[in-house]
Amino acid sequence: MLWFSSVVLSVAVILQVTGGVYARATYDSTPNIYPSPLGGRSSYDTYWNLAYMKAREFVSQLTLLEKVNLTTGTGWEMGPCVGNTGSIPRLGFPSICLQDGPLGIRDTDLNTAFPAGIATGATFNKNLMYLRGNAIGLENKSKGINVALGPCMGPIGRAPEGGRNWEAFGSDPYLQGIAAYETVTGIQDAGVIATAKHFLLNEQEHFRQHAEWVEFGYSDLKEPYSANADDRVLHEIYVWPFAEAVRAGVGSVMCSYNQVNQTQACQNSYLMNKVLKDDLGFQGFVVSDWLGQRSGVASALAGLDMTMPGDGIGWADGISLYGSNLTLAIMNGSLPMWRVDDMATRIMAAYFKVGQDPKTFPSPNFSSWTLNSTGYTFPTDEDSAFGVVNQHVDARSSASSQASRQISLESMILVKNENNSLPLTNFKKLSLLGSAAGPFSGGPNGCVDRGCNNGTLATGWGSGSVNFPYMVTPADIFNYRAAMNGFQLDYSLDDYDHDSATTYAAAADAAIVFVSSDSGEGFLEVEGNIGDRNDLKLWHGGDDLIKAVAAVNRHTIVVVESVGAVDMEAWIENENVTAVLYSLVPGQDIGFGVVGVLLGDYNPSGRLPFTIAKRKEDYPATVIYNTTSAVPQINFTEGLYVDYRHFDKQNIVPRFEFGFGLSYTNFTFSNFTVTVKEGVDTDPYPFAPKAYLDPVFYNGTNSSRPSTDEVLYPKNFRKYKKFVYPYLTDEDVKDLKYDTEAYPYPDNYTEIPPNDPSPAGGASGGNPFLFDQIVTVTCEITNTGPIVGTQVAQLYLSYPDDAGVEFAVQSLKGFEKVELTAGQSYSVAFTLTRKDLSYYEVESGNWKIPRGKFHVYVGSSSRKRQLAGSFTLE
């Protein structure tokens, strides 16, 4: 049963705000979970609790209007950042600035275009993940951004064509989890609030939003798609990385555009009230994706704390589902005051948690809406002040460039290298072939939001992209090296001019072909791809160019510049294609990475953060591209079997497996130990978490509700047309009645806060006992080759096969990256926590360790597991 048909959407929303229908649980729909948990009740989170003390002190001084201001954006383009909350002038508290995105700062200048999430995942380097996050945080702070809208840890990539997979870290929850943890810690150590997004199941762009896809011609569409997954899959695959972000103390979580089990993610009480705020013990605030909020009171009751950009139903119309409507919902009794208090307190707790202070934190010194130095404060409103809007502050530092370049190098994945044909040595003539080798005539920022694939591909498109301060292409570095080292370099950058390509290739010692595949966010269409890739083929006739070149040169090297897996079958086994290097949108310094590896300055150490299949059909899921239904249903029927878990289960041989990547040296693994720690608790269930601290209410539950004249527009107030305000009009209050029964509360609605957390919850990231270390694994890695090199030791766990529970054949549960000089050995240690050993048991709503024999493997990829051991729990 579908409550929100778009035809009646605005009506439904009005009704929801002032009383009317409510999205009740139906069969196969989300369970109702209320009340929304109050923040600051964890018995464990000392740092959060300190932040809550400050937040409560601050919020207890606020009027209702001021609280509402904190929760609501001022409207699209109504402030310098992509999102700006209202301010509290009385206390000198400025608007909170929220800015895209996951790989750096969008829509400005003198910022770093960092490697994308997928490149960062490919490094498998925890320290680099942290350093990148920290550099991103420092840049945000220097531009005056309070809340960075990243990292992205969903999509996880169940469908390889998913348009935004590249913004996240790869198709495994554990890898995503580590990357999320490190990135959040890095950003927040710099004093900026990180945002974990997109919560949840936002695995494709097609039909993610209603209006956007009606514009693309799907006029039957009434609602965004509903992604439907069962609870175990939810917790073990899709929520896992968010749990790690929360464990790292993330201040904000963004709910996504899509529906989950027939309920909008941003009004899904199960997802926000239960999974996020109880099971994961999240203490920060939930912010909607931009226009992701679709109802008023229903969203507030379900746990949405902040709406962005403030406009609710459409862009830049000054109409909000919070703002005045939130004030009204308090004044007419639909929404209890404690909920607005909690929204404001969660926002301020996140603010104080990362050490922000209105007296010292810089104000935004840029405009998202122009790169001109001067402009209107509100660009669509010529009644607003005109003046300096961009101070062109250089946000970059050596921390940025070091992280960017090192990730460019460490993310390069060498997937084929016959006869050690790389690194290139002893050559006199090279040829570079294909448009992806060099620049685009329009410059690196030649298309809006990087919505084109011209020249070197160093990023995907959409809100997850940024302006390049420069882009070093592979051709740039090759030219420079040719000048310095004295080799001949020819190139042909036309993908379709096979005559020139083959002429140069035939005469070169090695021919390097650059090919690409791009994707991005669903609001832009690029070469017929609306966000999601239409298929996994190379763009611009890449297969043909490779084949033409390989026909004339025995030393053809392919560089794939891609957002994800591509189909390589047309040429991968061609004996003349001696080497293949995979570059996963590493940002501004791509040329350093590609050429550094090809010429052997850096020994490649990237590993595939997803599986490359031989056939598109080998993947467990694909994007749903076409629909005639009002609400497309995307059933996650593959369940746990995402990426390699599916290939393992179905016994499908991939082209290149998850975790795979070659080096210019060789490594051995030895001396394996697997030990269950002495005296640790290995009972199936963790100890119950401690009870919640007593709830704190401000001045009693509802006593601080103001009188109507306190919430009216101030006299002679100067209103900007599209600005979102917290005030009510005389009209609004004319027939206002305070009636706490009038709103049709959902089934199971209650306001009684529970005493105890979920058995899976209690602290940030979950029950603290889940992170007890139970098993220690050690091994020795030796570099047996001739040169320095870096190995990624990967630990895969297999669960008991006789426990009466279905499990993936193996799951990544550890990785360590070690650099070793020739002949050097190093001992690597892993620990497996209770959570690592557990599955999510739906009936108990808890994590449970199965009984029986566990197998532990360590090796260099998911299919090259050099070491095997086991332990048994009885």
Ligand X SMILES: *[C@@H]1O[C@H](CO)[C@@H](O)[C@H](O)[C@H]1NC(C)=O
| Three-state SS at 198 | strand
Q: Please tell me whether residue 425 binds ligand X under the rule CB under 6 A.
A: no
Window contacting ligand X (CB under 6 A); options: 479-487, 583-591, 625-633, 812-820: 625-633
Query: Smallest gap, in angstroms, from Cβ of residue 576 to ligand X?
Result: 4
Query: Smallest gap, in angstroms, from Cβ of residue 799 to ligand X?
Result: 21
Size of the site for ligand X (CB under 6 A): 62
Query: Smallest gap, in angstroms, from Cβ of residue 43 to ligand X?
Result: 26
Among 500, 702, 825, 866, binds ligand X (CB under 6 A): 825
Complex with ligand X: residue 107 or 182, whichever CB lies closer:
107
Tell me the per-residue interface mask from 694 to 733 with ligand X, x by CB under 6 A, - otherwise. --------------------------------x-------
Among 3, 23, 66, 761, binds ligand X (CB under 6 A): 66
Take residue 500 and report the two structure tokens written for it.
Answer: 């020139």
Among 136, 239, 260, 276, binds ligand X (CB under 6 A): 260
Query: Smallest gap, in angstroms, from Cβ of residue 397 to ligand X?
Result: 28
Complex with ligand X: residue 49 or 327, whichever CB lies closer:
327
DSSP letter string over 683-694?
-SSPPPPPPPPP
Q: Please tell me whether residue 630 binds ligand X under the rule CB under 6 A.
A: no
Within 8 A by CB and 6+ apart from 813, the residues are 174, 795, 796, 797, 830, 832, 836
C-alpha to C-alpha distance for 789 and 650, rounded to whole angstroms: 34
Beta-strand runs (E) in 80-236? 83-84, 97-99, 147-148, 193-199, 226-228
List the catalytic residues.
289
C-alpha to C-alpha distance for 309 and 79, rounded to whole angstroms: 10
Window contacting ligand X (CB under 6 A); options: 7-15, 125-133, 401-409, 654-662: 7-15
Take residue 843 and report the two structure tokens written for it.
Answer: 């009936």
Take residue 80 and report the two structure tokens written for it.
Answer: 């310098």
Window contacting ligand X (CB under 6 A); options: 705-713, 767-775, 777-785, 793-801: 777-785
Complex with ligand X: residue 77 or 836, whichever CB lies closer:
77
Closest by CA position to 490, among listed 465, 507, 467, 474:
507
Distance set, CA 146 to CA 85, 108, 191, 388, 557 (Å) = 11, 15, 8, 21, 45
Query: Smallest gap, in angstroms, from Cβ of residue 681 to ligand X?
Result: 28
C-alpha to C-alpha distance for 229 and 243, rounded to whole angstroms: 17
Q: Please tell me whether residue 297 binds ligand X under the rule CB under 6 A.
A: no
Complex with ligand X: residue 1 or 680, whichever CB lies closer:
1
Closest by CA position to 663, among listed 801, 819, 555, 524:
819
Q: Please tell me whether residue 348 binds ligand X under the rule CB under 6 A.
A: no
Tell me the per-residue interface mask from 196 to 225 with ligand X, x by CB under 6 A, - otherwise. ------------------------------
Complex with ligand X: residue 65 or 501, whichever CB lies closer:
65
Complex with ligand X: residue 190 or 711, whichever CB lies closer:
711
C-alpha to C-alpha distance for 336 and 696, rounded to whole angstroms: 14
Complex with ligand X: residue 474 or 695, whichever CB lies closer:
474
Binding to ligand X, residues 528-567 (CB under 6 A): 550-554
How many residues does this entry show for the chain? 874
Q: Please tell me whether residue 303 binds ligand X under the rule CB under 6 A.
A: no
Within 8 A by CB and 6+ apart from 848, the residues are 684, 685, 838, 839, 840, 841
C-alpha to C-alpha distance for 760 and 232, rounded to whole angstroms: 13
Window contacting ligand X (CB under 6 A); options: 86-94, 104-112, 331-339, 342-350: 86-94
Tell me the per-residue interface mask from 580 to 619 with ligand X, x by CB under 6 A, - otherwise. ----------------------------------------
Q: Please tell me whether residue 780 binds ligand X under the rule CB under 6 A.
A: yes
| Three-state SS at 544 | helix
Complex with ligand X: residue 631 or 873, whichever CB lies closer:
631
Among 142, 273, 417, 454, binds ligand X (CB under 6 A): 454
Q: Please tell me whether residue 460 binds ligand X under the rule CB under 6 A.
A: no
Complex with ligand X: residue 672 or 771, whichever CB lies closer:
672
C-alpha to C-alpha distance for 301 and 288, rounded to whole angstroms: 14
Task: Yes or no: say if 324 and 727 are a contact pair by the CB < 8 Å rule.
Answer: yes
Cis peptide before 198, with omega less than 30 degrees from 0? yes
Window contacting ligand X (CB under 6 A); options: 37-45, 579-587, 628-636, 735-743: 628-636
Window contacting ligand X (CB under 6 A); options: 48-56, 63-71, 482-490, 766-774: 63-71
Task: Yes or no: say if 226 and 632 are a contact pair by the CB < 8 Å rule.
Answer: yes
Beta-strand runs (E) in 8-125? 83-84, 97-99
Binding to ligand X, residues 12-51 (CB under 6 A): 13-14, 17, 28, 30
Angle of helix 173-189 relative to helix 126-142, nearest 10 degrees, comes to: 40
Q: Please tell me whether residue 168 binds ligand X under the rule CB under 6 A.
A: no
Distance of CA 386 to the CA centre of its chain: 36
Distance set, CA 186 to CA 137, 140, 234, 287, 517 (Å) = 7, 12, 26, 21, 30
Angle of helix 64-71 relative to helix 337-353, nearest 10 degrees, comes to: 60
Instruction: Please identify the residue of the shown chain whose CB is closest to the bound ligand X.
Output: 86
Query: Smallest gap, in angstroms, from Cβ of residue 120 to ligand X?
Result: 25
Q: Please tell me whether residue 675 binds ligand X under the rule CB under 6 A.
A: no
SS (H, E, C) 784-796: CCCCCEEEEEEEE
Query: Smallest gap, in angstroms, from Cβ of residue 137 to ligand X?
Result: 25
Binding to ligand X, residues 373-412 (CB under 6 A): 375
Window contacting ligand X (CB under 6 A); options: 102-110, 111-119, 149-157, 226-234: 226-234
Query: Smallest gap, in angstroms, from Cβ of residue 474 to ligand X?
Result: 17
Query: Smallest gap, in angstroms, from Cβ of residue 342 to ligand X?
Result: 19
End-to-end, the C-alpha distance of the chain in Å comes to 46
Q: Please tell me whether residue 576 binds ligand X under the rule CB under 6 A.
A: yes
Query: Smallest gap, in angstroms, from Cβ of residue 71 to ligand X?
Result: 11
Q: Please tell me whether residue 476 binds ligand X under the rule CB under 6 A.
A: no
DSSP letter string over 493-530?
--TT-HHHHHHHHHTSSEEEEEEEE--B-TT-EETTEE
Query: Smallest gap, in angstroms, from Cβ of residue 6 to ligand X?
Result: 13
Q: Give the sign of the dihedral formed by CA 809, CA 811, CA 814, CA 820.
A: positive
Complex with ligand X: residue 32 or 583, whichever CB lies closer:
32
Complex with ligand X: residue 323 or 768, whichever CB lies closer:
323
Within 8 A by CB and 6+ apart from 46, the residues are none
CA angle 124, 127, 132 (to 5 degrees): 95
Q: Please tell me whether residue 575 binds ligand X under the rule CB under 6 A.
A: yes
Task: Yes or no: say if 656 and 122 are a contact pair by the CB < 8 Å rule.
Answer: no
Phi, psi at 176, each rounded to 5°:
-60, -40
DSSP letter string over 365-423?
-S-TT-SSSEEESSTT-TTS-EEE---------HHHHHHHHHHHHHT-EEEEEGGG--S
| Three-state SS at 284 | coil
Among 105, 147, 271, 413, binds ligand X (CB under 6 A): 271
Q: Please tell me whether residue 421 binds ligand X under the rule CB under 6 A.
A: no
Q: Please tell me whether residue 324 binds ligand X under the rule CB under 6 A.
A: yes
Q: Please tell me whether residue 231 binds ligand X under the rule CB under 6 A.
A: yes
Contact residues: ligand X, CB under 6 A: 10, 13-14, 17, 28, 30, 65-66, 69, 74, 86-89, 95, 228, 230-231, 234, 260-261, 270-271, 313, 319-321, 323-325, 370, 372, 375, 441, 452-454, 526-527, 550-554, 574-576, 626, 628, 633, 635, 664-666, 670-671, 726, 780, 782, 785-786, 825
